[in-house]
Amino acid sequence: MKVFMDTSAFAKRYVAESGSDAVMALCQEADALVVSAICLPELVATLCRLVREKRLVKADYRKLKIAAMADLDDVDICQITSRVLDSTVPLLEAYVLRSLDALHVACALAVEPDIFASADRRQLLAARRAGLQIADVS
């Protein structure tokens, strides 16, 4: 099974919160795990925010960042091509999405996963309406 995870889902591998168990189960079931090229910067931004909010200490941040970067070596990364960028326009016009959320959905549409996993309800709605099978990991 090919699973595409947006950053909100992928981050649950490293930060224990609601939905982390569902994400880990999807990872176990997956034959292939796919993320978009924006996943790493978004994940690092999330971890840095947690440090600023004092919900994560810097030593743990460094460990999680190293783990995530190592894990990303083993996943497929969908690049932001002109085809992917072009497909964000109709998504943004049809659904209430932030630009980066539209990029995740566009990447997923390009790689045709069996499951699109996210914790973002608006993004999940757009993905489902665009024809993707979804997993809500919120």
Give the model confidence (pLDDT) of 26-55 as tens digits.
Answer: 999 999 999 999 999 999 999 999 999 999
Q: What is the pLDDT of residue 76?
A: 98
Among 90, 119, 124, 122, residue whose Cα is nearest residue 108: 124
CB–CB of 42/68 below 8 Å?
Answer: no
Q: Which helix (H) or strand (E) holds 115?
A: strand 115-118
CB–CB of 134/128 below 8 Å?
Answer: yes
Average pLDDT (11-19) is: 95
Chain segment 52-106, per-residue pLDDT in tens: 999 999 999 999 999 999 999 999 999 999 999 999 999 999 999 999 999 999 9
Q: What is the mean pLDDT of the chain?
A: 97
CATH assignment of 2-38+75-136, given 1.10.3720.10, 3.40.50.1010, 2.40.30.10, 3.30.565.10? 3.40.50.1010
Q: What is the pTM of this model?
A: 0.95
CB–CB of 135/26 below 8 Å?
Answer: yes
